[in-house]
Amino acid sequence: MISRRNFLNVTLMMMALFFLFQFTVVVKENWKQYETNEYMSEKNTLPEETPEASLGDGDFVGESQKTYIVLVSDTSDESLVDVVKQWCKYSKRTLYVYDDLEAYTKAGKSEPELLLLDKVGEEDIPQLQQLVKEGISLCFCHMPDYAVVSQNETLRSILGIKECILEETTLTGIHLFEGFLLGGEAIYEPEKEEEQKLQDMDLKVPWYVLDSETKAYMVGLKSDMVNAPKNEQLPPVIWRHSADGTMVFAVVGDYMQQITGMGILSAMVAEKNVYELYPVVNAQNMTIVNFPGLASENKEEMEQIYARTQQKLMRDVIWPGLEMIRERSGVKYTYLFATQFDYTDGNEPQTEDLIYYHKLMKEGGAEAGISLDHKESISLSEKMERDALFWESTENSYIYGSYYVKPGELRQFAGGLELPKEVRTVASDYEEGSELFSFLTEDITVQRATANGYKHTYQDNFKLRSLETALGYSHIMVDLNDIYWPDTKDDRWEILSDELAKNTGTYWKAFKEFEQTVLLESDTRVRNFLALDYEHYRLENCITLQVENLEQQAWFILRMHGEDIADVQGGTYKQIEKDVYLIEATGERVEIVLEEQKIRVEP
Amino acid sequence: MSMQMLTIIQFVVTSCCYFLVTILVPAAVLGKVLKKYRLMERLLIYFVVSNFYMMNLVFILQLLHISNRFTLFAGTVIPVGALWLKIHDIKFLTLVKNMGQGLKRTIEGKMGIRTALCRTGEWIVYLFKQAAAAVRKVLKGHLWDALFIAALIAILFYVYGTHAITRFGYAASDMPVHNYWINYLSKNDVFVAGVYPFGFHCIIYYLHIIFRLDTYVVLRVFALIQCMIVHGVLLLVLKGCCKSKYLPYLGVFLYAGADWVKENVYYRYFSALPQEFGMIFVLPAAYFAFRYFALTKEEMGEEPKEKKKEKKERIKGARSFNFKETVKKAIGWLKDRWEKRQGSDWYLLGFAMCFSMTLAIHFYDTMAAGIFCVAIAIGYLTRFIKKKYFVTIVTTCFISIAVAVLPMAIAYATGTPLQNSLYWGMGIISGEDGKIIGPSSGQGSGGASGVMPGTGGLPYESQEGESQMQGAEGAAGQPGLPKESLGEKVSRVAGEIKFAVTDVYDKMVLSIQEIILLKEKSQFAPWVLGLFVALFVEGLLYLVLQKKERGSMFLSVATFGALMSVLQASAKIGVPSLMDANRCGVYYTFMIGLEVSMVVDGMLDILIGKLKQKWVLSAVSFAVLSLCCFFFWNYGGIRKPILAETLETNGAVACLTNILLEEEDFTWTICSANDELRMAEDHGYHYEISELLKKMEGVGSLGSLYLPTETVYFFVEKKPLDYLVPHEHSGEYISEEGAKQDFPWVTGISLYQGENRWIYMSKMYYWAQAFRKAYPNEMKVYMETDDFICYKLEQNVNHLYNLCIDYGYNNVAQTSVNQ
């Protein structure tokens, strides 16, 4: 028999325990403010778009006159101009574009930081020789024809080519050496059968053998040859020649015509100079588009494949999978809600899971946004109207600042269609020729995706390294519509999630020092990045960086050659890899003190 | 940290390691057995036994090709441990059991970890206390000795240490060769360049392997260590030979610090060379022989007649042969002998080890030791010719020679040829005076016939000395002359003898004046010769005074002095030159230190040694020592430290040290002139600058040279060394003028000698400048001093840089962009 006294004691203890457990939950519920977007900031505190200068022959782009780049191109191929223009804009350099070398010479400009050459003909060689003599660094963005190179000794001596072996050879892979682009060494050569699908690099290149006083950054591999050539005789893809102390860079293939050109240009300038300091965004985004879907669509197929509805698939299968990836790779998600994809099937969006997902997202530090993806059966404006009605009905106080819009529909917003006032940024897929980030309207930015989480080919990897080098930026966009509306047998979550986990956990590891951001955070950084300007100079062991238009903080990459940072005043720093540092400027004047060369035993 | 400080640390560490294995460990093991011996004798025995053991352990393991850290460690610890257990009467199993029990109790929690640690701590404190007590015991009553020893160490640091901490490179041209041979011991390739006495190399290798000390570091600092040991051994032997307490210091101070001899007789102490290491064992061999004779007499005198009878019967019994019984009896006899004659056997063993080691280290040391043996045989002639002495000593000599020669003989028998300097040695003995009679020696094979800078560039293995054997002067009688009367004959012969003695004496004096004494001290040459005469006289006096042991010892030393004097002047006298005069001078000067102390000690002993008050002798010896020191201080002065010329700049050694500290092994290459090749052989790669420049001479970038390591260091002497051969531009900095000179198409050591070195360094400097222009961010200055610069090139191992370029001074036709 239990005494009354003991009974009372036990009851009190039970009550105390009950209270303690419930108390924490209640407090958490109240304090977390699940329906508040913590990443949302006041619109008027954000930098807005600066007017963009027009581009023309001999025109300069941008405002600064301090260092400038010259591009000699007849602009028949806009892609190179676009890439160079974009790179100059982001690195705050002035760009002059000339039709030909003669026009440049006539302009009588002082020595540029780098003279980029698009297409070079035999007739340009004497002028090139003269430029090299004058000590002007050149970059052959587009290699002259093999015949021109092989027949012209002067051109070969400018390019540092010792021997021309073949007009075209098929490579088995490509070897990117450490120290050029961020991310270290990469060998783009499939070793196993299943890796063959990753190979999408340009493997047909002319075969040159480099002379002395050259440095190769990327070479082709010829593993299929019986008598494998020595490493130094492999076909070079990107290299440098020091012609009488003047740096001449050359790129075989169309790497400069793609967005990858930006990283290559940054790396070249870093190679050329004693040190190189340039601004970066420092943002690593991962956007999950169309998740969660609020309407249970494509029911039959979902039942057939997953034996459950779309809602249950999302909650019970996809969400845990995504969380596992987040925990392993440390990414930060931006989830873009899909209200409804197919407006013809009668499956209307439901509000019941909305709060649930908001809670989960808040716990994971994620941001929620809205996807404007839809089937073609309805126009974008109509979808926006119907969605607006739905959102009004939800009594949801969360402010969605990030939207997803398909690239083809972005133009509609320039043509009168308006996004809700609270929208800050729009995520969209990357299209060749488009800017990586820009202003959609005066106060809305567009952030393009740089990678597809499901697929990471060699070319994608090269692009990733290039963009991380030039901008410290990556944007993985994972579209779950492929799961809800599968086209092939491979569009299944178990397959795609494997790929997603593998890719995000592997290829982004090298860039872990860059910060993981959600779209709104990244938006703030992009705005600051686009708005700032800077100057820097070095006096002995101190590099002084002067930042203009600084909003809170800005990030810079400092690339050195065998020197280390001892201290940074006006900011902080961390090492990304050997000789590469990420500087966070918190003040307008940053002083980077370099370590003096230390000898352990003095003679 | 400065290189000076590092050198001091390296010296201290290496000394500690060496003395740990040569003094402390043997003392811990043999101390109990040898406690009845004098301290100086114990120290000598420890030192000799340990060196002998290390040397032969390495030889055995090397010949079996199983030498490595593990086998060397096991080969040291297991026998030493077993001996220690045996001597201290501890059973191995009991020891393990006790230790196991302690461990078990700790694991089981019966004894707390803190208690276990406390007990271990207490044990360590106990050991320290024991050691401190032992030191206190030694120092008790020996305060003046301690002070004199401290003074001796100070003198040695002053005279020899100054060089050691200010010049870091090797001071002899054959040091890289010795380094090379030692390096190959690490690859179990003993006698890599041919059969050669490897005793010294074995010891350095042992230190390198067991204590993980870099060979080049040991070789750099071991010169001072072995110099101190040479002086220490002289002191110990004098302590053993002299009756007075303080006179031993007279000879050692004179040898170490008085300014009376030429540099060439002690210049070799600035390098760790085998000959000087072998010198350590010459005097102990003689001392052990003296003691053997003395103690054997005592022991034999004690042997009772009954025992002798027993022995005879045993021998008789042995004639009726039964194998088992014979073996049993032989073991019994050995045991019996060891028990009864343990004292003299230790000395005999010591003598055998020392003699063996001289042969295993350097033939010149064997010659010196051999001459001393002959002198001892003469000094102790009456006993030496007795069967029991003769057989034992000769057998011991043969065994010791066999032990030393065996490794070399095995190697020779298995097809390893003799090293070239051995052919040279044989040439000397056969009268061909340094002409190499074996296979021709190239730079690559690395002969040990090196040259010391500052000795006028004379090779010290094959220095052209005085004229060879001169024909006998005057034939004994001319045909057709009238017959002499007996008186005339006697008178003529006496005249001839007188002339010959005077002539020999003059030549000895001249030789001492030329080779040993400073010019301003040359008048003391007859005094030097007078030393052995004085010893001879004292020896005879001792014999007259019935002090046979001391008499024989003095006669032996006197004979040794006389024979060495003849050897020193052999080229002048016309007898076969077994040893080059300069080298002989090193031993001769060493011997003078011994003789001086013994002469003065003998005098005092004869005059006042019989006094019962022993303190009188000590006091007088102290006074004489003080007077002599005062005399030398005022008259002769203290020897000034000299800074020997080194064959590598300080900057280069410091740079190499930094590279070894900073870089991972075998990820780098040093491109330099020669010395670093062997110094860094265990850690990285080396490429000759002569080869580098040759590859691009006349062809520029058409040539190709890739050095396949991540980092390449280029050592350039801004002020090139003369490397033994002075030239027109000696002392000049590298210049355009030098770079413009024709490329020296030479081979061998002359590549880097004389003007060639200046040309190479000049060209190298301009190559480096041109290469830096092409690779400004990849090639940087790593270290620079007034006379040296090192460039560091970092390259991509997957796509190396071609080091061949047109640098403007390699006579390449201009085909570049600048056309």
For the segment B407-426, what is each residue's pLDDT rounded down to a tens digit?
A: 888 888 888 888 877 776 66
Q: Tell me: do A331 and A474 sit in the same domain.
A: yes
pLDDT of residue A63: 39
pLDDT digit string, tens, across residues A507-563: 999 899 999 999 999 999 998 898 888 989 998 889 999 998 888 889 999 999 988
Q: Could you give the C-alpha distances from A575 to A544, A583, B177, in angstroms and in order?
A: 18, 9, 46
Residues in chain A, overall count? 603
Give the DSSP letter of residue B569.
T
| CB proximity B788 to A under 8 Å | yes
What is the rounded CA–CA span in Å between residue B426 and residue B434? Answer: 8
Residue that wins the pLDDT comparison between B227 and B258: B227
Cα-flanking dihedrals φ and ψ of residue B172, to 5°?
Answer: -140, 145
| CB proximity A154 to B under 8 Å | yes
**Amino acid occupying residue A83:** V
Nearest CA in chain A to B792: A562
Q: Tell me: do A449 and A306 sit in the same domain.
A: yes
| CB proximity A177 to B under 8 Å | yes
Q: What is the mean pLDDT of chain A?
A: 87
SS3 readout for A96-157: EEECCHHHHHHHCCCCCCEEEECCCCHHHHHHHHHHHHCCCCEEECCCCCHHHHHHCHHHHH
pLDDT of residue B306: 60
Reported as a pLDDT band with limits 50, 70 and 90, residue B315 is low
pLDDT of residue B450: 55
Residue A218 falls inside a structural domain: yes
pLDDT of residue B320: 59
| CB proximity B813 to A under 8 Å | no
Distance from CA of A218 to the nearest CA of B (A): 9
CB pairs below 8 Å between A and B: how many? Answer: 100
Q: Tell me: do A347 and A207 sit in the same domain.
A: no
What is the rounded CA–CA span in Å between residue B496 and residue B736? Answer: 67
Residue with tokens 């000959």: B275
**CA angle at B559 for the pair B557 and B565, rounded to the nearest 5°:** 105
**Final residue of a domain: which of A526, A549, A566?**
A526
What is the rounded CA–CA span in Å between residue B456 and residue B616? Answer: 49
Q: Do B799 and A211 touch (CB under 8 A)?
A: no
Q: Tell me: do A344 and A488 sit in the same domain.
A: yes
Q: Do A245 and B773 touch (CB under 8 A)?
A: yes
pLDDT digit string, tens, across residues A368-420: 999 998 888 888 888 888 888 888 888 788 889 999 999 888 888 877 788 88
Q: Tell me: do A511 and A546 sit in the same domain.
A: no
Parallel, antiparallel or unpaired: strands A580-585 and A554-559: antiparallel
Q: Tell me: do A544 and A465 sit in the same domain.
A: no
Q: Tell me: do A214 and A310 sit in the same domain.
A: no
Residue pair B647/B677 in contact by the 8 Å Cβ criterion: no
Reported as a pLDDT band with limits 50, 70 and 90, residue A65 is very low
pLDDT digit string, tens, across residues B327-385: 887 777 777 766 666 667 888 889 999 999 999 999 889 989 999 999 999 998 888 88
| CB proximity A232 to B under 8 Å | yes
Distance from CA of B764 to the nearest CA of A (A): 17
pLDDT digit string, tens, across residues B158-213: 999 999 888 898 888 888 889 999 999 998 888 888 888 889 999 999 999 999 99
User: What are the structure tokens assigned to B756, written together?
Assistant: 């060639």
Residue pair A410/A387 in contact by the 8 Å Cβ criterion: no
Nearest CA in chain A to B168: A603
Closest Cβ opposite residue B777 in set A212, A216, A274? A274
pLDDT digit string, tens, across residues B28-69: 898 888 888 888 889 999 999 999 999 999 999 998 889 999
Tell me the chain B residues in contact with residue A157 when contact means C-beta distances shorter than 8 Å.
815-817
Beta bridge partners of A283: A473
Reported as a pLDDT band with limits 50, 70 and 90, residue B230 is very high
- Whether B506 has a pLDDT exceeding 50, the answer reads yes
Residue A59 falls inside a structural domain: no
User: What are the structure tokens assigned to A489, written together?
Assistant: 């047998």
What is the rounded CA–CA span in Å between residue A271 and residue B539? Answer: 84
Q: Do B800 and A211 touch (CB under 8 A)?
A: no
Q: At what angle do helices B282-302 and B387-413 cross, to 10 degrees?
A: 140
pLDDT of residue B684: 92
What is the rounded CA–CA span in Å between residue A333 and residue A476? Answer: 10
Q: Return the sign of the alpha-carbon dihedral for residues B755, B760, B766, B768.
A: negative
Average confidence (pLDDT) over B538-567: 90
Average confidence (pLDDT) over A6-27: 90
Tell me the chain A residues in contact with residue B704 when contact means C-beta distances shorter than 8 Å.
212
Nearest CA in chain B to A128: B817
Of the ranges B203-207, B447-451, B793-797, which one carries the lowest mean pLDDT score?
B447-451
Cα-flanking dihedrals φ and ψ of residue B642, to 5°?
Answer: -110, 150
| CB proximity A159 to B under 8 Å | no
Q: Tell me: do A445 and A319 sit in the same domain.
A: yes
Nearest CA in chain B to A215: B801
pLDDT of residue B314: 59
**Final residue of a domain: which of A277, A302, A317?**
A277
- Whether A82 has a pLDDT exceeding 70, the answer reads yes
Residue A317 falls inside a structural domain: yes
- Whether A303 has a pLDDT exceeding 80, the answer reads yes
Residue that wins the pLDDT comparison between A568 and A225: A568
> Where are the alpha helices (H) located in B303-380, listed in sequence order?
305-319, 323-340, 342-361, 363-379
Q: What is the mean pLDDT of chain B?
A: 84
Average confidence (pLDDT) over B695-702: 85
pLDDT of residue B136: 84
A4: CB partners within 8 A, 6+ apart = none
Average confidence (pLDDT) over B285-289: 92
CB hemisphere CA count around B442 (13 angstroms): 5
Q: Tell me: do A449 and A311 sit in the same domain.
A: yes
pLDDT of residue A297: 86
Q: What is the DSSP string of A19-77?
A: HHHHHHHHHHHHHH-TTS-TT---GGGS--PPPPPP--BT-EESS--SSEEEEE--SSS
Strand order in the sheet with A114-117: A60-61, A94-98, A68-72, A114-117, A138-140, A246-251, A236-243, A214-221, A173-176, A186-188
With a pLDDT cut of 90, the percent of chain B lying above it is: 35
Closest Cβ opposite residue B816 in set A232, A244, A599? A244
Q: Which domain holds residue A206?
A: 64-277
pLDDT of residue A24: 83
CB hemisphere CA count around B753 (13 angstroms): 13
- Closest among A182, A319, A288 to A518, alpha carbons compared: A288
Q: Return the sign of the alpha-carbon dihedral for residues A542, A546, A551, A557.
A: negative
Q: CB burial class (10 A; 0-12, 13-18, 19+) of residue B819?
A: exposed
Average confidence (pLDDT) over B721-728: 80
Q: Tell me: do A232 and A334 sit in the same domain.
A: no
Neighbours of A510 (CB within 10 A): 17
Reported as a pLDDT band with limits 50, 70 and 90, residue A248 is very high
pLDDT of residue B438: 42
pLDDT of residue B340: 64
pLDDT of residue B131: 85
Highest average pLDDT, of A1-15, A24-38, A42-56, comes from: A1-15
A292 cis-preceded (ω within 30 degrees of 0): yes
**Final residue of a domain: which of A253, A277, A301?**
A277
Tell me the chain A residues in contact with residue B701 when contact means C-beta distances shorter than 8 Å.
162, 211-213
pLDDT of residue B472: 35
Cα-flanking dihedrals φ and ψ of residue B731, to 5°?
Answer: 80, -5
Highest average pLDDT, of A74-78, B14-18, B196-200, comes from: B14-18
pLDDT of residue B453: 55
Residue A342 falls inside a structural domain: yes
- Whether A175 has a pLDDT exceeding 60, the answer reads yes
User: What are the structure tokens assigned to B15, written together?
Assistant: 């000394």
B247: CB partners within 8 A, 6+ apart = B238, B597, B600, B601, B604, B621, B624, B625
Reported as a pLDDT band with limits 50, 70 and 90, residue B800 is very high
- Whether B435 has a pLDDT exceeding 50, the answer reads no
- Whether B816 has a pLDDT exceeding 50, the answer reads no
Residue pair B21/B50 in contact by the 8 Å Cβ criterion: yes
The total domain count for chain A is: 4
Complex-level ipTM: 0.85
Residue A44 falls inside a structural domain: no
Nearest CA in chain A to B169: A603
Residue A39 falls inside a structural domain: no
CA-atom Rg of chain B in angstroms: 31
Closest Cβ opposite residue B804 in set A133, A212, A231? A212
What is the rounded CA–CA span in Å between residue A558 and residue A375? Answer: 46
| CB proximity B710 to A under 8 Å | no
Residue that wins the pLDDT comparison between A293 and A240: A240
pLDDT of residue A57: 47
Secondary element (H or E) of residue A180: none
Q: Do B701 and A157 touch (CB under 8 A)?
A: no
pLDDT of residue B771: 92
- Picking from B5, B660, B803, B817 by the largest number of A CB atoms within 10 A of its own CB, the best residue to mutate is B817
| CB proximity A271 to B under 8 Å | yes
Q: Do B654 and A158 touch (CB under 8 A)?
A: no
Closest Cβ opposite residue B3 in set A177, A214, A601? A601
| CB proximity B805 to A under 8 Å | yes
| CB proximity B817 to A under 8 Å | yes
Residue A569 falls inside a structural domain: yes
pLDDT digit string, tens, across residues B81-113: 988 888 888 888 888 888 888 788 878 877 788
pLDDT of residue B203: 94
Residue A50 falls inside a structural domain: no
Nearest CA in chain B to A156: B817
- Whether A66 has a pLDDT exceeding 60, the answer reads no
Parallel, antiparallel or unpaired: strands A473-479 and A451-452: parallel
| CB proximity A134 to B under 8 Å | no
Q: Tell me: do A510 and A396 sit in the same domain.
A: yes
CATH code assigned at A169: 3.40.50
Q: Tell me: do A336 and A272 sit in the same domain.
A: no
Residue pair A274/A507 in contact by the 8 Å Cβ criterion: no
